């Protein structure tokens, strides 16, 4: 009789353990939760799995909207707007804004000014900021380029000072950094499997709930369809190109929203798109824009000197270049199987 009593407790504990195990498994396998919203001038789709996903996604959306308010170039309440209209006086930034400004300035230096966070006045002249597109005169561009130069920005601790006329724009790096901060927030909430689509910038948290890799379709810069599939775990995938935001001028030419800071004209160097694969979204974002500005040769040289990222370069004539680290993770789709695919390795 006594032995039976001793048995009841372990059996009960086992049953409880099994119930908890099955419940957790059920939750892990549950349908993903999805949230779609508009922020930072783009559509965002966040997908998360597991316990607490709904609440975590609500917080993620709030975080994106908070950062948008802080970094907007057009909202008079934003810190960036205040710096841009401070008449040369210093403005104190929050820690996270100071950090992204510091990062943008250091990447501008590292890429020899291909990333130029003070290009905004030139971007405005082309009408990319309002949608009222026009082709500025060359003299107008030359004059505006006088205000451009990341080295004009003075950041000391959290204090930023810009000379009158110089304007800072985090458009090329902000979404990447916002992705990093949001991913961190989701991880703190216990989320181990999620995919953030930030207007085409992808931030993957962990793997899919079953442990397999995320399969991302890489959009064709030549029109409809996906040129291939990239398999990833726990990283950021960021693409830049002039095929999404552009206008057709009166001269019939296409003008894209990524500018060459040396000339003030939209980049037109034969590259159709650049996709960067990195651990950090902010690095991916800074590099996707700047490697697009540098062009094929410049981007390959930069990669050979750094190698802390992978990339996919597509040219307008239909060549695809991959760095060696992702050659086994990328597959061309059937309809693009005829594209010329080349691997960039450290030796070539
Ligand atoms: P998207 O924001 O469309 O995903 P990017 O990350 O490449 O693409 O950022 C492009 C934006 O960056 C432009 O819309 C503009 O605000 C700004 N920009 C354009 N040219 C440059 C440049 N050479 N350096 C830094 N920012 C740029
Ligand atoms: Mg970018």
CA atoms within 13 A on the CB side of 35: 21
Query: What is the CA(275)–ligand 2 centre distance, in A?
Result: 10
- Give the confidence band of 78 by pLDDT, cuts at 50, 70, 90: very high
pLDDT category of residue 244 using cuts at 50, 70 and 90: confident
- Ligand 1 contact via 172 beta carbon (within 6 Å): yes
Mean pLDDT of 230-246: 94
The answer to pTM > 0.85 is yes
Q: What is the Cα Rg of the chain in Å?
A: 23
pLDDT score, position 1: 44
Percent of all residues in the chain with a pLDDT value above 90, rounded to a whole number: 87
Mutate to test the pocket of ligand 1, among 257, 298, 299 (most ligand atoms within 8 A of CB): 257
Helices and strands per DSSP (H, E), number in the chain: 8, 17
Q: Can you say whether the dihedral through the CA atoms of 261, 264, 269, 275 is positive or negative? A: positive
pLDDT band of residue 223 (cuts 50, 70, 90) is confident
Q: Label residue 7 by pLDDT band (50, 70, 90).
A: low
Quote the DSSP letter at residue 120: H
- Model confidence at 14: pLDDT above 50: no
pLDDT at position 224, please? 84
Task: Report yes or no: 270 and 295 within 8 Å, Cβ to Cβ.
Answer: yes
- What value does the mean pLDDT take over residues 314-325? 96
Which helix (H) or strand (E) covers residue 135, if one does? none
Contact 60, 187 (CB under 8 A): no
Of the candidates 115, 109, 126, 128, which has an alpha carbon nearest to the alpha carbon of residue 261? 115
* Residue owning the nearest CA to atom 19 of ligand 1: 258
Give the percent of the chain with pLDDT over 70.
91
Ligand 1 in contact with 239 (CB < 6 A)?
no
Chain centroid to Cα 305, Å, comes to: 22
Structure confidence at residue 311 as a pLDDT band (50, 70, 90): very high
Closest CA to 174 of 96, 95, 259: 96
As a whole number of angstroms, the distance between CA 69 and CA 198 comes to 16
């Amino acid at each position: 009789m006594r032995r039976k009593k001793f048995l009841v407790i372990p059996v009960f504990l086992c049953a409880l353990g099994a119930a908890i195990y099955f419940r957790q498994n059920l939750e892990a396998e549950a349908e993903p939760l999805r949230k779609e919203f508009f922020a930072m001038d783009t559509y965002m789709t966040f997908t998360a799995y597991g316990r607490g996903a709904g609440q975590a996604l609500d917080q993620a959306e709030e975080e994106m909207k908070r950062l948008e308010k802080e970094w907007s170039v057009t909202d008079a309440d934003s810190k960036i707007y205040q710096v841009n209209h401070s008449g040369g006086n210093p403005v104190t930034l929050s820690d996270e804004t100071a950090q992204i400004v510091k990062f943008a300035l250091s990447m501008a230096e590292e890429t020899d000014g291909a990333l130029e966070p003070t290009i905004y006045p030139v971007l405005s002249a082309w009408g990319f900021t309002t949608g009222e597109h026009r082709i500025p005169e060359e003299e107008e561009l030359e004059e505006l380029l006088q205000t451009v130069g990341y080295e004009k920005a003075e950041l000391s601790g959290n204090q930023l000072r810009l000379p009158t006329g110089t304007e800072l724009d985090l458009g090329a790096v902000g979404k990447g950094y916002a992705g990093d901060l949001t991913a961190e927030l989701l991880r703190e909430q216990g989320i181990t499997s999620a995919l953030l689509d930030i207007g085409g910038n992808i931030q993957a948290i962990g793997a899919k709930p079953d442990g397999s890799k995320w399969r991302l379709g890489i959009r064709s810069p030549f029109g409809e369809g996906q040129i291939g599939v990239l398999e990833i775990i726990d990283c950021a995938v960021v693409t830049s190109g002039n095929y999404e935001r552009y206008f057709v001028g009166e001269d019939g030419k296409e003008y894209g929203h990524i500018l060459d800071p040396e000339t003030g004209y939209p980049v037109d160097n034969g590259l159709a798109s650049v996709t960067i694969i990195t651990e950090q979204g902010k690095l991916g974002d800074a590099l996707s824009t700047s490697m697009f500005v540098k062009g094929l040769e410049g981007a390959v040289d930069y990669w050979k000197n750094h190698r802390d990222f992978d990339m996919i370069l597509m040219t307008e004539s239909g060549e695809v270049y991959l760095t060696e680290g992702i050659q086994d993770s990328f597959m061309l789709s059937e309809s693009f199987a005829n594209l010329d695919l080349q691997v960039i390795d450290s030796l070539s």
